[in-house]
A and B are shown apart, each in its own frame.
Chain A
Amino acid sequence: MKLTRRRLLESGAAAGAFAMSSAAGIRLTVAQEAEEIRIGTLCPITRAGSVFGPGIQRGIQFAADDINAAGGLLGGRKIRLFNEDTQSDPDSAVRAAKKLIEINETETLLGTWSSGVTMAIAPIAIEGKVVNMNVSGTTDLRTMDKDEWIWPCGGSNIAYGKMMGEYAIAQGYKNASFLAFNNPSGITLGEEFKKVFVDAGGTCEVVVYNPNQPSYRAELTRALASGPEVIALGSYLPDTTILLKEWYAMGEPVDWVGPIWAVSPALIEAVGADAAEGIVSIGAVPNFDSPAFESFKERYESAMDQPILANPFAAIGYDMMITCALAMEAAGSSKAEEFRRQIRAVSSPPGEKVYTVAEALEAVRAGTEIDYEGVGGNMDFDETGEAKPYFAYWKAEGGTLNLKGPIES
C-alpha cells in the first residue's frame, strides 16, 4: 500500500477518535459497574463439549438471575456474568481464562468441562487468585495442591468407578471383567471398580486395550476367558460401539455396564436395539429430591428444549453459582481470596439444610450455619475438595435407554 499524506492523516484521525471513544467507554463502564460482582463463565460452547456447554452456561445464568431477583449480594450488589467459550480445547480455554481474569477482572470462573481444559486453566486460576468450579473427572484434580481455589463438582473417575462397582455388587455379580481404555480415565475407572468389587468378595480381571483398532476380538476373548457374569467398561463411545458389535457377533452371553458417556443413546443407535439390549449405563443425575428441582427442570427444559437428564451438568452449573454467592455473603466479600474459605462451610455438613437461594441467603445473613443442597447434587465437598453428584442407572430396553433408579452408596 502506498502511504500518501492524505491516507496518513485519515488513519491518524481515525485512530485518535477510536482511542478517545474507547477511553471514555472504559471510564464509563467502570463507574457504572463498580458495585457489580463480576463472574466469568468458561463453558465448552463449541466442539466436543458443545452438548453440555450451553446448558451449563444457562444453569449459571439462572442462578445469577435468581440471586439478582432476591436482591443481590453484600447489601444489594448484582451479579454480572462474562461468558467465554473454551471451545473444548485447553489452548483456547487458557486464552479465554486470561481474558476473563485480566480484561473482565473476574475472580470466579465457573463451568469448565473436560479434564484437559480444567488442568490447563488450573495453574492460571491459582496464580491469578481466582476460584474455579468445574465438572471435570480426572483424579489429578483430587490430589493436586489446590488450596481451595479449584472445586470439581461433576464426579471424578474414582466416583464413577466406585458407583459401577457398587451397582455390580448390588446386582449380585460375583465374577467380573473390566475392559479399560488405555488412558488415565479408563485405568482409574478399572482400578476403582476392581477395588470396590473385590472388597465386596468378587473377582475381577482388568484388560487394558489401546484405542483406534480395527478389531478388539483378542481383548474380548480375554475379558470373557474367566467366565464373568458382567463386563464393566472404562471406555468412550467409538471403541464401545466396536466392542459391542464384535461381542454380539461372537454370541457369548454376558451382562454389560459402562459410564454414561460411553453407554449413551448414541451407542444404542449405532449398534442397534438387539446388540444393546440389557446394557446398563451409570451416570450422574440431578437432585430429584430437592424442593427446588421441579421448577429448575421446567425452566431449563423450556429454555433449552431438551430433557434435563440430557445434561446433568446444567443443574450443577446452577449450584456452582449459588454456592459461590452464599460463600461471598458468608465471607462478607466478593474477593476470591476471602470467600473461597467459606465455600465448604456453606455447602457441606454440618449445618441446616437449605434448598432455595432466598432461604439460604436469609439463613446466612442471620448467622445460621447452613448446608446448601443443590438442584444438581448435594454440593458436599469431601476432604479432597470434590463434590460427588448423585448417581443412577439406565438400562437399554427395546432400543431405548430407560432410567431405572438411584445407586445408593
Chain B
Amino acid sequence: MQLFIQTVWDGISTGAIIALVAVGLSLVFRISRFINVAHVDFATVAAYVTLLVAGSTAVAFPVAALVGIGAVMALGLLAYLLVYRRLAGERSISLIIASIGVAFFLRYLVTFIWGSNQLAFDLPVLRSIRVAGIRMAPFDIAIIATTLVVFAGLALVLRFGAFGRSLRAVADNPELARVSGVAVDRVVKQMWLIGSAFAAVGGIALAAKTVITPYLGWHLLVPAFAAMILGGIGSVGGTLLGALVIGVVGELAAMYWLPTYRLAATFGVLVLVLMIRPQGLLGKREVAR
C-alpha cells in the first residue's frame, strides 16, 4: 500500500509538470484552433534563457526564472505576430505545419547557440523528506504547490475576470465577439502571452528536475498533447486532471507492469476514456449553434 501511494505521489509530481505545459497548449488551441507544436520548444527556450541569466550574473535563480518566463512570453507574442496571425483563417493544418517550422527553427537556434551537449542548472539536489512513510522531494512539493496555485489563479481569472469573459466570447465566436465590442486582437495577444508563460514555467521546472538539452520540451509534446485531449480540449481543470492521470498511470505502469510500457499504458487509458467520453474528462461537447 505504501509503495502504491508512493508511486501515485511520484506520478503526481510528473503530472504537475505536464499540466503546466499542457494548459498553455490547450489555451492556444481554444482560441486559435490549432495545435502549436512549437509550444514545447518555448519551454526549451525558457530553460536556456534562465540558464543564461542565472549562469552569467549573480542574480538568484528565481530572478533568472522570471527573466526566462518574460523572454518566452515575448517570444510567443512574436511568433503569433510574425507567423500565426498571418495564417489566421487558413485551415488548421497550415497552422500546425507552420508551428512545426517554428519548432525546428527554435530547436536549431538553441543548438547553434548552446550546442547539443547537456547542461544543467546549478541547483543543489536536496534529500527527500518523509511524510507518513512517503518520500517527498522538496522540489516536487514546490512544483506541485506552484502548479496548484497558478491553476487556481488561471481558473479564477477565466471564470470571473473580464479577460476570461472576453476569452470565452472569442473562443466561442470571434465574429460575434468583435461586433459585441470585444477587442478580439488584444484578447488573442494576451492569450498568447499567458499560454507562453505556462510553457516557460513548465520548461524551467522540467529543466530543474532533469537536464537541459535542445530536445528538453520536445519530449513533453506527446504527454502534454495526451493530457489536453484526455482532460477535454479547452478545459483548464480538465487539462490539470488529464495531466495528473497521465503522470500517475505512467508511473503505475512502470512500477507494476514494465517500465518500457509507460507510454503504452497512458495511451491505453486515453483510448478507453475517449471511447466512453469523446469530449474528454471535463470537456464540453461541441454543439452546432
A219–B128 touching, CB < 8 Å: no
B260–A275 touching, CB < 8 Å: no
A247-287 vs B, Cβ < 8 Å mask (1 yes, 0 no)? 01111000000000000001001111011000000000000
Please report which residues of chain B, range 114-149, place their CB below 8 angstroms from some CB of chain A when the two chains form the complex: 116-118, 120, 124-128, 135, 137, 139
| Residue among A215, A250, A274 with most chain B CB within 10 A | A215
Cβ of A397 to closest chain B Cβ, rounded Å:
18
Please report which residues of chain B, range 88-129, place their CB below 8 angstroms from some CB of chain A when the two chains form the complex: 116-118, 120, 124-128
B191-229 vs A, Cβ < 8 Å mask (1 yes, 0 no)? 000000000000000100111010100011001000000
Please report which residues of chain A, range 150-206, place their CB below 8 angstroms from some CB of chain B when the two chains form the complex: 182
Cβ of A262 to closest chain B Cβ, rounded Å:
11
Q: Among the listed A209, A212, A213, A250, which residue makes an inter-chain contact with B215, where contact means beta carbons less than 8 Å apart?
A: A212
A245–B118 touching, CB < 8 Å: no
Cβ of B21 to closest chain A Cβ, rounded Å:
10
A238–B211 touching, CB < 8 Å: yes
Instruction: Point out the residues of chain B lying under 8 angstroms from A214, CB to CB.
Output: 14, 17-18, 206, 209-210, 219-220, 223
Q: Among the listed B17, B126, B210, which residue makes an inter-chain contact with A249, where contact means beta carbons less than 8 Å apart?
A: B126
Instruction: Point out the residues of chain A lying under 8 angstroms from B127, CB to CB.
Output: 248-249, 251
A266–B255 touching, CB < 8 Å: no
Q: Among the listed B125, B213, B255, B260, which residue makes an inter-chain contact with A272, where contact means beta carbons less than 8 Å apart?
A: B125
**How many angstroms from the CA of A222 to the CA of B120 in the assembled complex?**
26
Chain A contact residues: helix, strand, loop or mixed: helix
Instruction: Point out the residues of chain B lying under 8 angstroms from A213, CB to CB.
Output: 219, 262
Chain B contact residues: helix, strand, loop or mixed: helix
**How many angstroms from the CA of A275 to the CA of B127 in the assembled complex?**
10
A218–B255 touching, CB < 8 Å: yes
The answer to whether residues A221 and B6 also contact, given A209-B260, A251-B128 and a CB cut-off of 8 A, is: yes
Contact of B235 with A by CB under 8 A: no
**How many angstroms from the CA of A246 to the CA of B127 in the assembled complex?**
9
Q: Among the listed A207, A238, A251, A274, which residue makes an inter-chain contact with B135, where contact means beta carbons less than 8 Å apart?
A: A251
| Residue among B117, B139, B223, B254 with most chain A CB within 10 A | B254
A270–B120 touching, CB < 8 Å: yes
Number of A positions contacting B (CB below 8 A)? 33
**How many angstroms from the CA of A272 to the CA of B121 in the assembled complex?**
11
Contact of B166 with A by CB under 8 A: no
Q: Among the listed B7, B118, B215, B259, which residue makes an inter-chain contact with A241, where contact means beta carbons less than 8 Å apart?
A: B118
Instruction: Point out the residues of chain A lying under 8 angstroms from B3, CB to CB.
Output: 221
A43-76 vs B, Cβ < 8 Å mask (1 yes, 0 no)? 0000110000000000000000000000000000
B259–A215 touching, CB < 8 Å: no
**How many angstroms from the CA of A213 to the CA of B3 in the assembled complex?**
21
B219–A210 touching, CB < 8 Å: no
**How many angstroms from the CA of A214 to the CA of B13 in the assembled complex?**
10
| Residue among B13, B124, B210 with most chain A CB within 10 A | B210
Cβ of B267 to closest chain A Cβ, rounded Å:
13
A266–B259 touching, CB < 8 Å: no
**How many angstroms from the CA of A409 to the CA of B22 in the assembled complex?**
52
Interface residue ranges, A against B (CB under 8 Å): 47-48, 182, 207-210, 212-215, 217-219, 221-222, 237-238, 241-242, 245-246, 248-251, 266, 269-272, 274-275
- 15 A-B interface contacts by CB (under 8 A): A207-B259, A208-B259, A210-B259, A214-B223, A215-B14, A217-B14, A218-B255, A219-B254, A219-B259, A221-B3, A245-B209, A246-B137, A248-B125, A249-B128, A272-B124
What 9 pairs across the A-B complex have the smallest Cβ distances? A218-B254, A217-B10, A218-B255, A212-B219, A249-B137, A270-B120, A215-B14, A209-B259, A242-B210
Given pairs A217-B7, A249-B139, A271-B120, 12 additional interface contacts (CB within 8 A): A208-B259, A209-B259, A210-B260, A210-B262, A212-B215, A218-B7, A218-B262, A221-B3, A241-B210, A242-B210, A248-B127, A275-B125
Interface residue ranges, B against A (CB under 8 Å): 3, 6-7, 10, 13-14, 17-18, 116-118, 120, 124-128, 135, 137, 139, 206, 209-211, 213, 215, 219-220, 223, 251-252, 254-255, 258-260, 262-263
